[in-house]
Structure 1
Amino acid sequence: MGQAVDDEATTETAAEPGTASRRQVIGRAIGAAGVVAVGGVGYGVARATEPGGSPSPPASSASDIVPFYGANQAGIATPAQDRLAFAAFDVTSGSAQAFQVMLGTWAAAAAQMTKGLPVGAVDNNPQSPPIDTGEADGLSAAGLTITVGFGPSLFDHRFGLAGKRPAALADLPTLPGDGSLQPARSGGDLCVQACADDPTVAFHVIRNFARLARGTAVIRWSQLGFGRTSSTSDSQQTERNLMGFKDGTRNIKAEAADDLRDHVWVGSETDQAWMTGGSYLVARRIRMLIESWDTDYLSDQENVFGRFKTSGAPLTGKSEFDTPDLAAKHTDGTPVIPLNAHIRLAGPETNNNQKILRRGYSYTDGIDSATGLLDAGLFFLAYQKDPRRQFVPIQTRLGHQDNLNEYIRHTGSALFAVPPGVSAAGDWWGKSLFA
């Protein structure tokens, strides 16, 4: 990885006067309409064509395409797709111009990919690398969304952004259960979340963003996810996590405009105007000790969650969406929903009515070589307007009391400020940061 960065930097600086570097050539070929211009460097736009031929028709229909441009970034309140490719990046260049050029190039490429198109013009020149890596050629857009965020570490001396760090982007404190966190799976200057209904389409984003970032940023860590574990729309059924339970039944839905306003989208309360219309993302890699879980009695599993395993109903109800009755007691006076049940501790009733929007995915990364046990679990993604008031107190409560803690380990953690959406061609994420 480091060698690739060094080679790219050499390519950038060693170009003869009047000639374009490889990354400039790629950048100029990317986009869907207009030109991204940063510091006098133009990044043009072209649709994929074959030499001497007409543009190939896109494989996508309107139902496959989620609009890229908008007031809010797609991939937050968007109905959750089936697959995830996620990566955190560290910026290696100290040049603010190079960083902005990279973000502009990414945005232009994202506008293409979310329509099911290659990242730029295909000229089939045998003497140069292809503009697009090609593995998604012929596939539809598959509902692709691309969401970008900025980590706390980006707001240091490198780009003069320290004064623009939002108060809500305060580093997460050490939380109960954080003893297994791995630095190699945590943090990052930037994040890219690619969600789609096709795993190749999602991976295609991370691969091409990493390629376009060479010389400016490198991947710090990444995670693939399969099987969404919560619904974000009334039109979706609630899926099950790897423990076999329905997860996120009471999640915020895209149709709940009041909940999105009150709990997800940053509003006028922010101390940094550039974040208005954005959100804050907490990403946690949570390994499940599923071999131990699989030996537990069904009744104990249901008491851990506070729900029936088959129906997903709370222990006080008959159907999944029944409101849990936290006051209900057995004839012996003990609570029907145990005091340390996950559903009780995570619910808004016991957290000052705070809610978060969850977009988690199951993951599996082979086995733990030290134990021979499966390395699998939940890649937890949660959006909110202020992690200090939402995620931190909720997770503190869970970390101290949740019976689920016996069967899980938090192995990765990161926080990102997700700015508002890209408005049109020529715009990019957080552009006003450098105004």
Structure 2
Amino acid sequence: MSEQTEEQRPSPSRRALIGWGGAGLALGAAAAGGVAAAVGTSDRTEPAAESGGAVPFHGRHQAGIATAVQDRLHFAAFDVLTDDRAELVALLKEWTKAAAAMTAGRPVGEGAVGGLAEAPPDDTGEALGLKPSRLTLTVGFGPGLFEDAKGRDRFGLRKHRPKALVDLPKFPGDNLDAARSGGDLCVQACADDPQVAVHAIRNLARIGMGNVAIRWSQLGFGKTSSTTPDAQTPRNMMGFKDGTANIAGTDTAGLDKHVWVSEKDGPDWLVGGSYLVARRIRMHIETWDRASLKEQEDVFGRDKAEGAPQGKQREHDQPNLKAMLPTAHVRLAHPDSNGGIKILRRGYSFTDGTDGLGRLDAGLFFIAYQRDVRDGFVPLQQRLAAHDALNEYIQHVGSALFAIPPGVRDADDWWGRALLS
């Protein structure tokens, strides 16, 4: 890596500036400036060249959407505690600097060691010595940022709320837990090393202490979908491959058509961004495990061994939807059954122990990106919720929708700048 210019060198941390007398105020310090160490932009969608490498942070679109899906997830939704717009802006600036550092494999601020011994370190330290592991951090803005539950326009943003940032309808069968739903901000951390992903969320939460608080979070493993659909699709907790027809991260035309917000979609501050739907889907594993193989395959409309559509030989064979039961998941979810609707899926499996009755609390943490949920996820989920045979074995227990701003262009940019400047 070439030497940094004067403008690129990290600025002094807040702890260094305030000295001994104000060391206790440095809890949220993360003022390490400079550009991301990885060369290039997050417009590139191919995986990092080397195992454990860095995914570029800067670019027209945020990384972590079209990026080749990593193995692990830590997703966190935050409530914004402050009503001060300047504090919100300062938080997003600090988060952006920290994210650029962590995705490049650098510590936050002055790091976990070597600073003032009498003050808390700038970095929590559990990623010391670890590679970047293709870490991506993707931030989103929830409806509460534009108008809170009390109807307050805390930050003067109500008039800038996107029309597509709707309140999702209650779908048949939903049993949503408010404690696992919603949020003013979200951060999706994906990496090939779970400790790297957890480290990233932990540091952002620490930086935001007093201004934001984690509302809910979810750890995920075993990616259940892929943005490289030429490869084999991973299996979900039911043992099936799902989402074979996912949009490829290299399909520029498909991404422009189905994922990225365009100038004609608006608003201006969101162009190049997207919308994220997150759904925590509990699987009734014990009931599913007692179903016959034939019933399982009929429910999905797939062969369990190869993941091939019923009546076909290979996973990526064009499905004959009429060969499946009318209630088969693949038949109901396929774009040909929904007027060409496509969403970009980035879901993960989860297992959160047991529910107190000896049943496994496990399932799918569904994540999908699209340019407009009103003609994407909403009509698709309404169809599935009404007719899908899979509903006997699953239940949606958490839900959230976020507007995903465009990428951070350079070292002077920050998450949400076009909205909050």
TM over 0.5: yes
Task: Write the letter of the residue equivalent to 1:86.
Answer: F
Task: Write the letter of the residue equivalent to 1:153.
Answer: G
Aligned residue for 1:281? Answer: 276
Whether 1:304 and 2:299 are equivalent positions in the alignment is yes
Aligned residue for 2:138? Answer: 147
CA pair 236-104 structure 1, distance change in 2 beyond 3 A: farther
- Whole-Å Cα distance in 2 between the matches of residues 426 and 102 of structure 1? 15
How far 1:350 sits from its partner (Å)?
A: 1.1
- Whole-Å Cα distance in 2 between the matches of residues 367 and 25 of structure 1? 35
Contact 1:89 1:217 in 2 (8 A): yes
Higher gyration radius (CA): 1
CA pair 387-377 structure 1, distance change in 2 beyond 3 A: same
CA pair 21-424 structure 1, distance change in 2 beyond 3 A: farther
Aligned residue for 1:205? Answer: 200
Aligned residue for 1:134? Answer: 125
Contact 2:229 2:244 in 1 (8 A): no
The correspondence for 1:81, drawn from 70, 79, 85, is 70
Task: Write the letter of the residue equivalent to 2:331.
Answer: R
Aligned residue for 2:378? Answer: 392
Task: Write the letter of the residue equivalent to 2:410.
Answer: A
The correspondence for 2:82, drawn from 93, 100, 123, is 93
Aligned residue for 2:364? Answer: 378
The range that moved more, 168-177 or 21-30, is 21-30
Aligned residue for 1:223? Answer: 218
The correspondence for 2:115, drawn from 109, 115, 124, is 124
| Deviations 1:152-201 (CA, angstroms, capped at 9, x unpaired) | 111021000000000010111111221x1100000000000000000000
How far 1:326 sits from its partner (Å)?
A: 2.0
Query: For this pair of structures, how many residues does the alignment match?
Result: 388
How far 1:29 sits from its partner (Å)?
A: 3.8
SS of 1:78's equivalent? coil
The correspondence for 1:67, drawn from 44, 50, 56, is 56
How far 1:116 sits from its partner (Å)?
A: 0.9
The correspondence for 2:348, drawn from 353, 361, 366, is 361
How far 1:248 sits from its partner (Å)?
A: 1.2
Task: Write the letter of the residue equivalent to 1:129.
Answer: P
| Deviations 1:177-231 (CA, angstroms, capped at 9, x unpaired) | 21x1100000000000000000000000110010000111000000000000011
Q: TM-score, normalised by structure 1?
A: 0.86
CA pair 235-119 structure 1, distance change in 2 beyond 3 A: farther
Aligned residue for 2:387? Answer: 401
Whether 1:416 and 2:402 are equivalent positions in the alignment is yes
How far 1:375 sits from its partner (Å)?
A: 0.2
SS of 1:167's equivalent? coil
How far 1:31 sits from its partner (Å)?
A: 3.0
Task: Write the letter of the residue equivalent to 2:344.
Answer: L
- Whole-Å Cα distance in 2 between the matches of residues 297 and 303 of structure 1? 10
Whether 1:172 and 2:165 are equivalent positions in the alignment is no
- Whole-Å Cα distance in 2 between the matches of residues 267 and 244 of structure 1? 37
Contact 1:263 1:356 in 2 (8 A): yes
- Whole-Å Cα distance in 1 between the matches of residues 163 and 272 of structure 2? 16
The correspondence for 2:263, drawn from 240, 259, 268, is 268
Aligned residue for 1:50? Answer: none
- Whole-Å Cα distance in 2 between the matches of residues 28 and 197 of structure 1? 24
How far 1:407 sits from its partner (Å)?
A: 0.2
Q: TM-score, normalised by structure 2?
A: 0.88
- Whole-Å Cα distance in 2 between the matches of residues 394 and 270 of structure 1? 20
Whether 1:105 and 2:91 are equivalent positions in the alignment is no
CA pair 361-23 structure 1, distance change in 2 beyond 3 A: farther
SS of 1:223's equivalent? strand
CA pair 227-350 structure 1, distance change in 2 beyond 3 A: same
Task: Write the letter of the residue equivalent to 2:129.
Answer: G
Whether 1:351 and 2:338 are equivalent positions in the alignment is yes
Task: Write the letter of the residue equivalent to 2:65.
Answer: I
CA pair 284-352 structure 1, distance change in 2 beyond 3 A: same
SS of 1:192's equivalent? strand
- Whole-Å Cα distance in 2 between the matches of residues 412 and 88 of structure 1? 12
Task: Write the letter of the residue equivalent to 1:414.
Answer: A
SS of 1:104's equivalent? helix
CA pair 23-358 structure 1, distance change in 2 beyond 3 A: farther
Query: Structure 1: which 4+ aligned runs deviate by more than 4 Å?
Result: 18-26, 60-63
Q: What RMSD, in angstroms, separates the aligned Cα atoms of the two structures?
A: 2.2
Aligned residue for 1:433? Answer: 419
How far 1:237 sits from its partner (Å)?
A: 2.3
- Whole-Å Cα distance in 1 between the matches of residues 128 and 135 of structure 2? 14
- Whole-Å Cα distance in 2 between the matches of residues 97 and 268 of structure 1? 28
Task: Write the letter of the residue equivalent to 1:216.
Answer: N
How far 1:33 sits from its partner (Å)?
A: 4.2
Contact 1:304 1:404 in 2 (8 A): yes
Contact 1:281 1:418 in 2 (8 A): yes
- Identity in percent: 56
How far 1:321 sits from its partner (Å)?
A: 0.4
SS of 2:29's equivalent? helix
- Whole-Å Cα distance in 2 between the matches of residues 19 and 101 of structure 1? 22
Structure 2's unaligned 5+ residue stretches are 1-13, 37-48, 148-152
SS of 2:248's equivalent? coil
- Whole-Å Cα distance in 2 between the matches of residues 264 and 250 of structure 1? 15
- Whole-Å Cα distance in 1 between the matches of residues 55 and 289 of structure 2? 39
Contact 1:84 1:194 in 2 (8 A): yes
